[in-house]
Chain A
Amino acid sequence: MKNLIADGVSSGWSYLDASTLTADKEFEADVVIVGSGAGGAMAAEQLSLAGFKVILLEMGALYEGKDFKQQERWAYPALYQDGAGRKTLDQSIGILQGRTVGGSTTVNWTTSIRTPEKTLDYWRAEFGTDFTSDNLAPYFQQAEQRLNIHPWPVPPNANNDKLRQGCEALGWQYTVINRNVSGCANLGYCGMGCPINAKQSMLVSSIPSAMQAGAMLISRVSVRELKWKNGQVQSLLAVPVDPYFQPDFKIKLSFKAKHYIVAAGAIGSPALLLRSKVPNPSNRLGKHTYLHPSAISGALFEDTIAGHSGAPQSIYSDQFVWPSNGQAGFKLEVPPLHPVLVATKLTGVAQSHAALMQQFNQLQVVIALVRDGFHPDSQGGTVLLSDHGEPVVDYPISDYLWQGVQSAYLAMAELQFAAGAKSVLPIHQDAQLYSSWGQAREAIKALPLQKYRATLTSAHVMGGCNMSADPAKGVVNLQGRHHQLDNLSVFDGSVLPSSLGANPQLTIYALTLRNTKALVKSLNEVIKAQSD
């Protein structure tokens, strides 16, 4: 197995670990990109191939292929925001988000889904977008080809198969998941970085390709501020991070470019723009942050599930994503089941927790990703800055969303019993192991719908710099260009004006390909005009 970037660097690719710098430094490029995830890296590749000199900045460290250790105690602090312990302001929702070269694509579970039709309809109606499944299709296809996205041909692992069986038994819709893998050995460790370069994350695709075409990668750098004047970004200020990824203000880096792309994720991007006090006439910057808040349901089976082994996600059900009664819909999926992830989420303490952990390999888990946004009572959260200038997401959970959570507990329990579960445990402080669907149904209806009682998590952060045709309703335009600052674009999940009702990576790839194409054209026109 090769470490593609390390090998490339030894043959001359341009790479810098900012934490090794001992003096201030200035950089110049055509385009500087903040963030190396689905948006930033995809844009870096296209711009580099189009002949622009690109610098790609990443707050996380460079780990790839052989570096990845299949242990959560290594992977979470090394590869995730806040050691995978990121939380909303009131600590009621846990957030899994990558912070490493390749961003969340390095640690995601490979699920690749085109933007749902109904989501595109909603954006057209509310935000004046002109996207349709048809006119986005070329970009979806381009991303799918680039990252070898295809239906997973291998039988699902038992954890996913129970989701399939439950749907079959109840006549519910389900789909075999498309995954961005090539030569996948069905190991189950996608969330800790693919050890065999099979996952077609940005780390093994667009980043090496961009570097081969001349892009410079700088890791362990935290971008603090965009300096702007007269509607133009003038420069970008950054500092290295320490071994714990805390910004280290002793050394200052500055970057000058013709164009700046912010792609630091839906928490990092709004935070950078807020720190930079960019014009914000719509008052939507850092607002309308969506999380797909996810409820969890555990089940014990007689047979072995061993949900740590095999592709983590290979089946989903959209049975409840778009309910006709206008209630909050939810998508059903399963998570990979590794010891820390399971132990930290399972309810109970002391003996009751230990007893559940002893049935680790009989445990099956379903998650319900609530489709937030799309409704007046679901307008998302807000990115705020701490006294230290670091982002926190304040995400109030409305009654409307709680209704979705309750419906989700019911659906998950019904499904798990239909798939043959011995007992079902909604992950809620007041829930117990229920031994029949009837018992579970009555108990779930009585569960208090309150934060801290229900364990909620998120693996998808969206919004905060939403796109809109009308500058009064968004931060960026439909090409991802900032409405007020001419040479600034935002290319990541923060441009999404609602949640998706689907896992976001493929939407971000496609929109970034579309918007980078427009940007290349526009930059070339500027250059041509200057040379004429």
Chain B
Amino acid sequence: MNRRQFIFRSLALTLAASTGYAVYQYQSLQGSDNAAVLVLDALLPAVLMGALPLDATAQQLSLQQSRDAVLEFLAYLPQSQQQQLDQLFQLLQQDLARLALTGQWLQLVELPLSQRLDLLLSWRDSYFSLLQQAFSGLRELIYGAFYGQPQHWQALGYSAPEFNP
């Protein structure tokens, strides 16, 4: 995976250079040092717009359960893929933090959902293969986690049968 590591490094440098900020400055703004949690918490409410429960408490619970389901799932991926994802989450966290900094928002959580969605779509349409992969990979992880939970099936008119209760 040396080629990939190289691409990752050059990409991280490009991003840092293009913003004029050093990477370490963003990280001090983050409340947690777990990049996966930060990225997922920032993206889940945007990706799941229109699907989340309307009630605020139910929505929070749903977001938290979906994030935890993603994190739990990652452990089943092969080691090399987990390492790549770790790197990717670091990179995306910087990308998100940069976006928060360039606006008037001091915290990631204050970044409007529409901007988070735009960022995600910019990854989809990026020239960088790694960001395109990030878009499809994260999308798949998030939707898999959300729609794996029976409480989200009501809108689908679906219920899983139990043949051997």
A357 interface contact, C-beta 8 A? yes
CA distance A73 to B146 in the complex (A): 10
Contacts of B129 in A (CB 8 A): 90, 452
Chain A residues closer than 8 Å to B69, beta-carbon distance: 73
Binding-face segment, B8-16, B31-39, B149-157: B149-157
Q: When A90-B129, A353-B143 are in contact, do A70 and B161 touch as well, CB less than 8 Å?
A: yes
- Smallest beta-carbon distance A98→chain B, Å: 14
- The answer to whether B156 touches A387, judged by C-beta atoms less than 8 angstroms apart, is no
**With a CB–CB cut-off of 8 A, which chain B residues contact A152?**
none
Task: Check B75 for interface membership: any CB of A closer than 8 A.
Answer: yes
Across the interface, A361 reaches (CB within 8 A) one of B124, B149, B156, namely B156
Task: Specify which of B47, B148, B155, B162 is in contact with A340 (CB 8 Å cutoff).
Answer: B148
Would you call A350 an interface residue if the criterion is a C-beta within 8 Å of the partner chain's C-beta atoms?
Answer: yes
Chain A residues with CB below 8 A from B137, complex form: 91
Distance, CA A196 to CA B164, complexed state (A): 8
Are the C-beta atoms of B157 and A350 separated by less than 8 Å? no
Residues of A within 8 A of B144 (CB): 72, 76, 85, 340, 343-344
- A354 close to B77 (CB less than 8 A): no
Query: With the chains together, A187 CA to B160 CA distance in Å?
Result: 11
Contacts of A339 in B (CB 8 A): 147-148, 152-153, 156, 158
A387 surroundings in chain B (CB, below 8 A): 1, 80
- B76 at the A interface (CB under 8 A): yes
Shortest Cβ gap from A67 to chain B (Å): 8
A377-421: which residues lie under 8 A (CB-CB) from chain B? 386-388, 390, 392
Partner of B117, one of A83, A87, A349, A361: A349
CB atoms of A350 and B48 under 8 A apart: yes
**Residues A72 and B148 in contact, CB atoms below 8 Å apart:** yes
> Smallest CB–CB gap between A236 and chain B, Å?
21
Interface assignment of A68: CB less than 8 Å from any CB of chain B: yes
Q: Is the CB of A353 within 8 A of B75?
A: no
- Neighbouring B residues of A471 by C-beta, 8 Å: none
Residues of A at the B interface (CB closer than 8 Å) are 1, 65-66, 68-73, 76-77, 82-83, 85, 87, 90-91, 94, 187, 189, 195-196, 244-246, 308, 339-340, 342-344, 346, 349-355, 357-358, 360-361, 386-388, 390, 392, 429, 452, 455
Closest 6 CB pairs of A and B: A354-B50, A73-B148, A386-B80, A83-B76, A351-B50, A350-B49
Beyond the given A351-B50, A353-B51, A354-B48, please list 19 additional residue pairs across the A-B interface where CB-CB is below 8 A: A68-B164, A82-B76, A82-B77, A82-B81, A83-B73, A85-B77, A245-B76, A340-B143, A340-B144, A340-B147, A343-B147, A344-B140, A344-B147, A349-B120, A354-B155, A361-B156, A386-B1, A386-B80, A388-B79
A-B contact pairs, 11 of them (CB 8 A): A1-B164, A69-B162, A72-B144, A73-B148, A83-B76, A85-B141, A195-B164, A344-B139, A354-B48, A388-B79, A452-B132
